[in-house]
Every structure is written in structure tokens, then in C-alpha cells.
Amino acid sequence: MTADNNMLIREAQTIQPDMVRVRREIHQIAETGLTTFRTAKVIVRELEAIGIPSEDISLMLEGAGVTALIHGKSHDHCIALRADCDALPIREMTDLPFRAENGNMHACGHDTHVAIVLGAAKLLYDHRDLLETDVKLIFQPAEEVDCGAKLMIKEGVLENPKVDCIVGFHAAVPGDAMPEFPCGSIGYFEDIPVAACVGSFKAVFKGKATHGGMSPHLGIDPIYMAASAVLQVQAVMTREKDPNDPAVLSICQISGGNSFNIVPEEAFIAGTVRTLRKELGEEILKRIGEICEATAAALKGKLEYTSSVGSEVKVDKAMMKQFRLSAAKIVGEEHIYKAVKPIFAGDDFSYFTDILPAVHFNHSQAFEDGTPMYPNHNNRFIVNEEKIWTGAAVAAQFVFDWAEIMTGE
């Protein structure tokens, strides 16, 4: 018998203040990349406070990540629940009393992700007598730098016990994909990828340094190459790609030189390519490399080029169908929103969905009182934490329900 939704709603509401407390603590100590050591310590402390025995909690990635196991009634299957826990290297400009002062900022809501998975963990652990399978909690660093999921998988997070499927989510506010998305409601993507394929590239132009005033003719100017390449590569998007096949190319870094009167030795550009198909990302990145190569050669320079592209986040149809039923038990059918457009954000949750059937949902943390909202990664980004309990209850309800289906109980 699966867990009763009214019980989960009631208990999730009861632990809401605790979830807010942890979220604020993690917000204030914001840590980036693979350096989420203090964050991991807070997570371990909270897991122990829930009652999960220490031997079922492990640090990973040299203490930056955490995994924990909740034992269900049978150990033949295991469902994973994942939260990313890293912040961004952004100086926070909000006026929150718990804002981070260390030059980092939780400007993507991952602080709430941790609180939600901890909340779900409490609900699952307290009712493990109703839980048909094992549940593995995954608190993953370095999502924003696209390597945490990959590294945790490599270090064995999906083994011992072997994980059969995974649940992920992201905090969100109303936007192009879900124009109407009130606080606490749940969003999902059907027939369009949950998150785009994230590609990245770096092109380093090599020239020959010289005096910028006296002898430009004796040097080879890498800044000229980089600037030319910035203009040339967009041709891939407008002249070569099928307009019906959506993609984004943004060059977000350009750098070279350290004085106004020296032509430097080298300069680089770096950027991101987002697509809804991995093959298209590969093609675009290959062409960017070729154009940079030709630009460097035409201007007598050399090029060093690196690029990579990940997959899109994929979900399992049968799991998503059950997910919508489970979510409706918590927030009601009318608070479940289907995305109307794809979004070009990436999520390294894709490394999990490359190998496991998965569920992914969006959890609304919108303000409805006119409080100005800013996009993710903005230095004034804020979320409404008032209903983070629905995220925890929805995740827990789904895990209870899917565990029952998996074991045929």
C-alpha cells in the first residue's frame, strides 16, 4: 500500500520551516563547482538529523558530493532522487537577509533543490515501512560547470545498490515554456526535450607579439583573428543550418592582451552552442572550428580548438505518465502545467538520463505579489520559498507510487 497523499501533504507542510532554514543556510554559504564542501557537511548533518544511519551516508568527489541510502521493504530495486547543490561565481546583489557575501551566489535555485530532496528524504525515511524499494539520494556538485554528474557516475554513485531509474527537477518561475506557473505548481515537458544539449568551445588564436605602434607589420595579430572569427562563425547559424532545426550560438568570452600598446601572442574566444539534437550540436561545433581555422590561416596565425557537446535531458514516457498522477495527488490536476515550448537551458542531469529511465519536473517558485523576478544566473535572482514543501511532497509521492509499480505490489 502506497503512502497516503493527505498524510504526505500534512507532513510536508509541517517540515516546510525546516526546509526553509536549510535552504537559507546553504544560500548564505554558496559554493561553486567541485568545492561544495561546507554545503556537503550541512547535507550530511541534516540527513543524520532525519535519522538516516551514518553508515548509509557517504561523501563523494573528495567531500563535495553526498549520497545516502534509504532502505525500503525489498532491495531488488532502487530509485534515485537527485539534487544539484552548486552555486555560481556571481556577486550577489539581492537584499535578502541571508544573502551570500563570499562572491558566490545561488542564482539558479540549487539551494532549494537541496532543501526539497532533504524534505522528500524525511517523508520517505519516516514512512520506509510503506516504501517498496530502496531509494538513493544524490546531492551533486558542479552542475553549472557540466561535470558533477559525469564524475559522480564515474565514482560509482549508480552502483551498490544498482540504481534502476532516477528523478530530477529544477526550480522555475513563469517563462516562455510555462507562461502561467503559479508558486508551488508543477511543470513538465512532453515530446520536447526537458533541457537542451549543451555544447561548448574554445578557440585560441596564436600569433606573434610585437609593438602595437612601431611595428605591427612585424607581428601576427591574434586579436584581429579573434574579432574576425566572432563575426564569421554566426554564418553557421544563418547560412548553413536548417531554420526548422533550432539552435543557439553565443560567444560569451573574448580575451587577449594585457597592454594597450602590445600586440599579444594569443587571444581566445569561447562560447556555447545549444541544440535539441546532439548531432546538430556536433555539426555546428565542427563548422565553428573550421571557420576559426580558416580565419587564423588567412591572417597568418594558428589555431588551437577544443569543443564538446552533451545530450539533451530525456524522460521515460511510462514514468512521466505515473508522475503526473502522483503530482496531481499533491497539488491537484489544475496545478500541473505542460510546457508549450522547449527551453535552451542545459542540465547535466542528461548524463543520468543517457543511461537511466528518468522523470524530470519543474517546481514553480514564482512570486505573485508583484515582487520583481529576474532570470536564472542574474545577480538579483530570487525565488519564492513559500511552497517548496510541494516539491518535496510530489517527489516523495512519486517515489512511493513508482516503487510500488516497480515491485508489482
198 binds Zn ion (CB under 5 A): no
| Residues contacting residue 253 through CB under 8 Å, at least 6 positions apart | 268, 269, 270, 271
Residues between 370 and 409 with contacts to Zn ion, criterion CB under 5 A: none
Give the Cβ contact number of residue 238 at 10 Å: 9
Specify the residue, 109 or 222, whose C-beta has the smaller distance to Zn ion: 109
Residues between 98 and 117 with contacts to Zn ion, criterion CB under 5 A: 108
Beta bridge partners of 302: 206
Number of residues that bind Zn ion (CB under 5 A): 1
Specify the residue, 227 or 373, whose C-beta has the smaller distance to Zn ion: 373
Site map 249..288 versus Zn ion, x via CB under 5 A: ----------------------------------------
Query: Shortest Cβ distance from residue 130 to Zn ion (Å)?
Result: 31
Specify the residue, 108 or 284, whose C-beta has the smaller distance to Zn ion: 108
Specify the residue, 108 or 263, whose C-beta has the smaller distance to Zn ion: 108
Query: Shortest Cβ distance from residue 63 to Zn ion (Å)?
Result: 22
Q: State which residue has the least CB distance to Zn ion.
A: 108
Query: Shortest Cβ distance from residue 149 to Zn ion (Å)?
Result: 12
Query: Shortest Cβ distance from residue 196 to Zn ion (Å)?
Result: 13
Query: Shortest Cβ distance from residue 358 to Zn ion (Å)?
Result: 16
Site map 65..104 versus Zn ion, x via CB under 5 A: ----------------------------------------
Specify the residue, 171 or 309, whose C-beta has the smaller distance to Zn ion: 171
Query: Shortest Cβ distance from residue 20 to Zn ion (Å)?
Result: 19
Query: Shortest Cβ distance from residue 377 to Zn ion (Å)?
Result: 6
Specify the residue, 183 or 313, whose C-beta has the smaller distance to Zn ion: 313
Specify the residue, 5 or 112, whose C-beta has the smaller distance to Zn ion: 112
Residues between 107 and 166 with contacts to Zn ion, criterion CB under 5 A: 108
Residues between 305 and 324 with contacts to Zn ion, criterion CB under 5 A: none
| Residues contacting residue 321 through CB under 8 Å, at least 6 positions apart | none
Give the Cβ contact number of residue 355 at 10 Å: 11
Measured torsion, CA atoms of residues 354, 352, 125, 54, in degrees rounded to the nearest 10: 140
Which residues contact Zn ion by CB under 5 A? 108
